[in-house]
Structures are given as structure tokens and as C-alpha cells.
């Protein structure tokens, strides 16, 4: 059922090259997170999401300090090794200091065009809206220059429908997993979500539709296994889900920036783009990288635990990610005070030895089973 998803994730370059040739559209690498893919689609580009990879870091250390997160270092390694030659341009968001600086480094080191969707740090909806008015215009101008196509209201509306449909289908997959824990292996589930980073949206949507149909009549797994909610920025390395599968634990929900925080976003309002993008960036799930005092992560996460039936929260910390590290201690305390067991693992996307991670997850699952 998941074979075609695994094929994509195991052959990313080949997959992108194949579709680039078929579509004859410029590939635009989206540096995480929350850049509305709809804009790239509407400009006639082919968006692929680059949330880091597992390449050993050989060249990127000449440009980035070793205590920079492995998302940034491995993304840069890809370009330095000329392994991203199909990517014609990069679209960044100003999610964290690392990404802001990474874009500056890309501008100096590489010749490919880059653009940035700068996310405001302001208290009010009106201030966000005002700030984004000029940002959205400059992003659109930049995209039109890269692709050579004008974004029209029709192309925008079609793109909004297409990518809105993707997230709707992904939400259905999340719901099935919540309602029938164990119905899908954890490794298969995240492979299916990750596949969407690399495929054209219409191709991916068809794969998800087939998958959902195949899952419709299946039952969940045994009811007495530990149920986990995962929380972090990036749901990689996928290898860890094999360990969770071996331990027969069920991930019932997540709060990943490239998981539910993105999947939960509604269709982009293409009729009023600035309003639509403001809403897209700030809602509905709170994020450690988005300043929004009206959307507090503490009650949000606790509510998510209750609604998903999770018995414990595993914090999935990508080393040196500052925004995540600043939020985690308070979030863990808040959950603990409410009686929710918590644990954390620290990771690098480039890691190859998972023994310590296995020991930690296994101990956490044993604790939940007592």
C-alpha cells in the first residue's frame, strides 16, 4: 500500500528530475517552513520542500558553524555538492535567525536567485497585515521574474484549490491514525507525508486518494500499546519510526512544523491574498517560530494530547534549533504539571547510530505501559 511512497522518498533526485522534465517548469526549492506553495504553483513553478537530508556534512562546515542545525547544514551541503542542480531558485521564510542568515550566505556563495517571505514579529493582526502587504508584493514580483510567468487570479485560485486539497487529504490520513491507532505503521505514515515534499501536488493527491480508499475498511492495531504524541520542528530522521514500530508503539498525533502545524492549514484565501497569507502563516496551530501571543502553545498542546488519546509526549529535538529549545522546557513542565508523561530525544538529521535514541524511546514506552 505504501510502496510507491517509499519509492519517492528513497529516490528524491530521480523523482524531481522526472517530473521536472514532464512538467517543463522551474523547480523552486522551498526552505522551511510555511512558505505558501500555492504562490510558486500559481507562478508556474514546481515547488519542492527542502527540510534537510541525511548527507554527511563535508563541505557545509566551511560556511556554517557546527552548532548550526542539521536542517540548514544538510540543505547547504546539497547545493555545495552540486546535488541540487535541478533546483533553479530558492524560496526562504524568515522563520529563525539561521534561515535568515542562510539566505544571505546563499546570496553570496551561489548564483541561483533567492527570495524571502519575511514573517512579521508584531502583536496585532492589523500590524501583520500592513507588514505583509509589501512583503507579498515583493515575493510575487520575485517569483514572476524567476518563472517568467504572471500570477493571475485564475492561476492563484487553481493553485489554492490544488494545495488546499493536498492538506485536506493529509488531514484525513491524520484523522484515521487518531481514530484507529496502529492502522498504519509509523514509518509508512511519515513516508506518506514526506512524499508530498517532492511530488507535483496533483500526482501526490491521486496517491493519497488511493491510499485513503485502501485504508477505509481496515481496522486499527491492538488497543493496549503505548500511544505517543510527537512534538518538534522536523519529523525526520525517518529511521527512528522503524524503532517505534519495532517497539509496537503507536504515534497517534504530532505537533511538527512540517507535520500537523502545516497540514492543519486551511485553503489559502486567493481572493484577498494578503489576508489569506496572514491567516496561513499565523493559524491555526501555534509554532515556536511564529510570534503570536493570542495563540499559546501550552493549552494548545495539552488539548491536543487529550483529543488524540496520547498517553505521553515525546519531544523530538533537532539539535541547536533555538526556537524549539527555548519553548521546550516550559512546554514539558506544563504537560508534567497536568499529569502527562514527557520525554525528549535530541537528534541530527545526519545521524547514523540510533542506539541511544532506541534506549530512550524504549524506556519511555515501558514507563507508559506500567
Q: Is there binding between residue 169 and ligand SF4 (CB under 6 A)?
A: no
Residue number with CB closer to ligand SF4 (20 or 254):
254
Select the span of 118-126, 291-299, 317-325, 355-363 touching ligand SF4 (CB under 6 A): 317-325
Q: Is there binding between residue 323 and ligand SF4 (CB under 6 A)?
A: yes
Residue number with CB closer to ligand SF4 (197 or 250):
197
Select the span of 76-84, 111-119, 200-208, 322-330 touching ligand SF4 (CB under 6 A): 322-330
Residue 305 CA to residue 230 CA, distance in Å, equals: 10
* Phi, psi dihedral angles at 47 (to 5 degrees): -80, 135
Residue 72 CA to residue 66 CA, distance in Å, equals: 11
Q: Is there binding between residue 117 and ligand SF4 (CB under 6 A)?
A: no
Q: Give me the DSSP letters along 236-273.
A: --THHHHHHHHTT-EEEEEEETTTHHHHTPPPP-SSSH
Residue number with CB closer to ligand SF4 (181 or 323):
323
CA atoms within a 13 Å half-sphere pointing along the CA-CB vector of 29: 23
Select the span of 7-15, 184-192, 316-324, 360-368 touching ligand SF4 (CB under 6 A): 316-324
**Cβ atoms of 194 and 336 closer than 8 Å:** no
Instruction: For residue 195, give Cα distances in angstroms to 17, 90, 206, 323.
Output: 15, 19, 12, 26
Q: Is there binding between residue 318 and ligand SF4 (CB under 6 A)?
A: yes
Residue 22 CA to residue 288 CA, distance in Å, equals: 38
# of chain residues touching ligand SF4 (CB under 6 A): 15
Q: How far is the CB of 12 from ligand SF4 (least distance, A)?
A: 19
Q: How far is the CB of 163 from ligand SF4 (least distance, A)?
A: 21
Select the span of 149-157, 191-199, 314-322, 356-364 touching ligand SF4 (CB under 6 A): 314-322
* Phi, psi dihedral angles at 327 (to 5 degrees): -80, -30
Select the span of 174-182, 241-249, 320-328, 336-344 touching ligand SF4 (CB under 6 A): 320-328
Give which of 117, 43, 45 is closest to 282, Cα–Cα.
117
Residue 36 CA to residue 201 CA, distance in Å, equals: 13
Q: Is there binding between residue 249 and ligand SF4 (CB under 6 A)?
A: no
Q: Is there binding between residue 98 and ligand SF4 (CB under 6 A)?
A: yes
When binding is defined by CB under 6 A, the residue of 48, 50, 64, 69 that contacts ligand SF4 is 69
Q: Is there binding between residue 95 and ligand SF4 (CB under 6 A)?
A: yes
Q: How far is the CB of 350 from ligand SF4 (least distance, A)?
A: 13
Select the span of 91-99, 137-145, 170-178, 244-252 touching ligand SF4 (CB under 6 A): 91-99
**Cβ atoms of 76 and 104 closer than 8 Å:** no
**Cβ atoms of 174 and 263 closer than 8 Å:** yes
Residue 300, number of CB atoms within 10 A of its CB: 14
| The 3-state secondary structure of 8-69, one letter per residue | HHHCHHHHHHHHHHHHCCCEEEECCCCCCHHHHHHCCCEEEECCCCCCCCCCHHHCCCCCCC
Q: Is there binding between residue 233 and ligand SF4 (CB under 6 A)?
A: yes
When binding is defined by CB under 6 A, the residue of 12, 91, 96, 119 that contacts ligand SF4 is 96
- The site string for ligand SF4 over 191-230 (x = CB under 6 A, - otherwise) reads ----------------------------------------
Q: Is there binding between residue 72 and ligand SF4 (CB under 6 A)?
A: yes
Residue 192, number of CB atoms within 10 A of its CB: 23
Q: Is there binding between residue 50 and ligand SF4 (CB under 6 A)?
A: no
Q: How far is the CB of 323 from ligand SF4 (least distance, A)?
A: 5
Q: Is there binding between residue 321 and ligand SF4 (CB under 6 A)?
A: yes
Instruction: Write out the residues near ligand SF4 by the rule CB under 6 A.
Output: 32, 69, 71-72, 95-96, 98-99, 233, 289, 318, 321-324
Amino acid at each position: 500500500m505504501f510502496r510507491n511512497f517509499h519509492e519517492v522518498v528513497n529516490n528524491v533526485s530521480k523523482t524531481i528530475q522526472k517530473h521536472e522534465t514532464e512538467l517543463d517548469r522551474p523547480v523552486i526549492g522551498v526552505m522551511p517552513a510555511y512558505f505558501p506553495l500555492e504562490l510558486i504553483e500559481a507562478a508556474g513553478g514546481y515547488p519542492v520542500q527542502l527540510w534537510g537530508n541525511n548527507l554527511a556534512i563535508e563541505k557545509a562546515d566551511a560556511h556554517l558553524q557546527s552548532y548550526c542545525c542539521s536542517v540548514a547544514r544538510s540543505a547547504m551541503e546539497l547545493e555545495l555538492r552540486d546535488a541540487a542542480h535541478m533546483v533553479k531558485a530558492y524560496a526562504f521564510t524568515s522563520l529563525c535567525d539561521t534561515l535568515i542568515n542562510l539566505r544571505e550566505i546563499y546570496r553570496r556563495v551561489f548564483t541561483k536567485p533567492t527570495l524571502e517571505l519575511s514573517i512579521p514579529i508584531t502583536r496585532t493582526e492589523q500590524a501583520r497585515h500592513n507588514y505583509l502587504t509589501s512583503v507579498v508584493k515583493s515575493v510575487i514580483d520575485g517569483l514572476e521574474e524567476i518563472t517568467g510567468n504572471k500570477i493571475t487570479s485564475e492561476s492563484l485560485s487553481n493553485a489554492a484549490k490544488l494545495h488546499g486539497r493536498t492538506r485536506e487529504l493529509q488531514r484525513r490520513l491524520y484523522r484515521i491514525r487518531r481514530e484507529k491507532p496502529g492502522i498504519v505503521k509509523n514509518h509508512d505514515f511519515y513516508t506518506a507525508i514526506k512524499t508530498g515534499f517532492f511530488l507535483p501536488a496533483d500526482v501526490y493527491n491521486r496517491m493519497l486518494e488511493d491510499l485513503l480508499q485502501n485504508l477505509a475498511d481496515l481496522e486499527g492495531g491492538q488497543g493496549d500499546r503505548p500511544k505517543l504524541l510527537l512534538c518538534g520542528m522536523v519529523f525526520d530522521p525517518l529511521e527512528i519510526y522503524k524503532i517505534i514500530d519495532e517497539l509496537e508503539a503507536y504515534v497517534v498525533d504530532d505537533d511538527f512544523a512540517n507535520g500537523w502545524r502545516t497540514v492543519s492549514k486551511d485553503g489559502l484565501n486567493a481572493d484577498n491574498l494578503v489576508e489569506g497569507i496572514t491567516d496561513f502563516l499565523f493559524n491555526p496551530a501555534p509554532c515556536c517560530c511564529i510570534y503570536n501571543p493570542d495563540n499559546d502553545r501550552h493549552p494548545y498542546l495539552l488539548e491536543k494530547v487529550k483529543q488524540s488519546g496520547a498517553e505521553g509526549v515525546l519531544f523530538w529535538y533537532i539539535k541547536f534549533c533555538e526556537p524549539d529549545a527555548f519553548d521546550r522546557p516550559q512546554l514539558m513542565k506544563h504537560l508534567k504539571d497536568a499529569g502527562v508523561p514527557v520525554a525528549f530525544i535530541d537528534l541530527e538529521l545526519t545521524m547514523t547510530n540510533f542506539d541511544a535514541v532506541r534506549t530512550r524511546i524504549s524506556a519511555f514506552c515501558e514507563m507508559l505501559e506500567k
